[in-house]
Amino acid sequence: MTIQFYLTPAAGKRLIAKGIAQLDSVKKTLESGTILIIGGTTNAAVAEELLKEIGDTEDFDRKGFFRGITVPKGFKYKPQESIGDVVIKNGKWQRGLTVYDACGDLRKGDIIFKGANAVNLEEEQAGVLLGSDNIGTAGPVLTAVYGRRVSLIVPVGVEKRVEAPIFDLAQMCDSCDATGLKFLPLPGQVFTELHAIELLTGAYAEILAAGGICGAEGGCYFIADGTDDEIGKLRKLVSEVETEGPFEL
């Protein structure tokens, strides 16, 4: 059986988060281990879903859960006070901690979530833009991943898809004669809407088309194939996320 459906980027973020909450590795680490969710608009949905899993969402405000953002030229907004990052240790939210506080204590079996600005769907590789003179939150993350084998999961929506290999883009952006933003390939496990659909329903989905207006810019039409049971689960899942509102400042 085959169906089609449309998701905005906001709905995609919620779908990704719901999928991540059902990963076996995440469930295990929520109970006995440490999960670090670094501030970001996709990770805000991830934080909400994981905090729901442990029954503690009080005081979490996604309006302050980001660092660098991209907005339309001329867009005016009032800066929000950052709430830092979310650290969950042995099923308890350790309020007030940031990536810089937590990364040094992470060990094999723990999990870091960090968002991305670009994803190559075919190669399942992602990269993040860098605006500062250092690599920001990626510094302690890479130290934990490469130095102590901490797991890195990269939640990223398909609206950020690129066709060029991630490492080729990095080479172009980071050359000594380049200008503008820098670009860092991320070594973690990419997790998109497509992964969430397969995990949560068993159906196989592909991007069919994309675009829209009046807030649907960046959204995608998907086509999915599966058994009647799988498609039934998918219809229910889409109905749960498709009305998700945009990230507001």
- The answer to whether position 45 is within a domain reads yes
- The answer to whether position 148 is within a domain reads yes
User: What is the arithmetic mean of pLDDT over 84-107?
Assistant: 95
Cross-sheet strand order for the sheet of 151-155: 92-93, 86-89, 34-37, 111-113, 151-155, 189-191
Backbone angles phi, psi at 144, to 5 degrees: -70, -40
- The answer to whether position 6 is within a domain reads no
- The answer to whether position 212 is within a domain reads no
Query: Please, which pLDDT band fits residue 77 given cuts at 50, 70 and 90?
Result: confident
pTM of the model as a whole:
0.94
- The answer to whether position 60 is within a domain reads yes
What span, in angstroms and rounded, lies between the C-alpha atoms of 8 and 241? 9
Judged on CB neighbours under 10 Å (0-12, 13-18, 19+), 172 is: exposed
* Tens-digit pLDDT profile for residues 158-196: 999 999 999 999 999 999 999 989 999 999 999 999 999
Confidence check: pLDDT of 70 > 90: no
- The answer to whether position 246 is within a domain reads no
Q: What is the CATH number of the domain that holds 44?
A: 3.40.50
User: What is the arithmetic mean of pLDDT over 199-204?
Assistant: 98
Query: Please, which pLDDT band fits residue 79 given cuts at 50, 70 and 90?
Result: low
User: What is the arithmetic mean of pLDDT over 74-87?
Assistant: 78
Q: Is the distance from CB of 215 to CB of 248 less than 8 angstroms?
A: no
Domain coverage including residue 142: 16-72+81-192
- The answer to whether position 91 is within a domain reads yes
Indicate the number of domains in the chain.
1
Confidence check: pLDDT of 87 > 80: yes
Which amino acid appears at position 3 of this protein? Answer: I
Q: Is the distance from CB of 230 to CB of 221 less than 8 angstroms?
A: no
- The answer to whether position 204 is within a domain reads no
